[in-house]
Structure 1
Amino acid sequence: MTRPEIIARPFWLQRDHDVSGVSGTGVVAHGVLWPDGTASVRWTGPRPSVVFWDSIADALAVHGHGGHTRIVYADEEQP
C-alpha cells in the first residue's frame, strides 16, 4: 500500500510593528499551512488560542496589521 504524500508547511507570523499597541512584536503565532490551502494558527501570549482559516490570506487580512505582520515558513528560514 502506498501512502499519499502529505506536506504540511509550518510557519510563524512575525510582527515587525505593533500598530495596535497591544499584541506586541516578534513571533505572535505559529501555524501550519495544510495541503488543501487551509491554515491552523496558534496565537502566543498570555491567552493563547487556535484558529482555523480557509486560507492564509484570510488570516493576514484580519491579523496582518496592514503589512506589519508577515509569514515566515520554517522551510525558507534564512540563518
Structure 2
Amino acid sequence: MQRFELVRYTDVSGVSGTGIVAEGIQFSDGSVALRWLSQYPCTAVWESLEALLAIHGHSGSTVVRWIDQASGEADECAGLGTEECPAS
C-alpha cells in the first residue's frame, strides 16, 4: 500500500480550492481510496489511479504527491504504473 496526497494547483471547478485537497491510498491491486478534505468531506473508491485522475486530474492541474514509495522505485516513478515507470 502507498499513501498519497492529491495536490491541486488550479481550482478549475471553484469548489475544492488549491493545495492538498485529498488524502489517499493505493492498494496492492491498484485500486485507490480517496478522502476529500473539504467543508463536506467524503470518501470515494476508484478502480485505479488512472481512473481517478481521468476525472479529477483536470489536465494536470491536480497531481499525486506520494508519501510512501515501494522499495527500489525512483522518486519520480513511485506508484505511477506507466510504461516508463512500471507498477511494482
Supply the AA of the counterpart residue of 1:30: E
Q: Equivalences for 1:1-79 in 2 at 5 Å? A: 8-75=1-68
Q: Percent identity over the alignment? A: 43
TM-score (norm 1): 0.82
Larger radius of gyration: 1
Match of 2:79? none
Moved over 2 A (4+): none
Structure 2 portions without partners, runs of 5+: 70-74, 76-88
Match of 2:85? none
Give the root-mean-square deviation of aligned CA atoms: 1.3
Q: Which has the higher contact order (CA 8 A, sep 6+)?
A: 1
Paired residues, number: 70
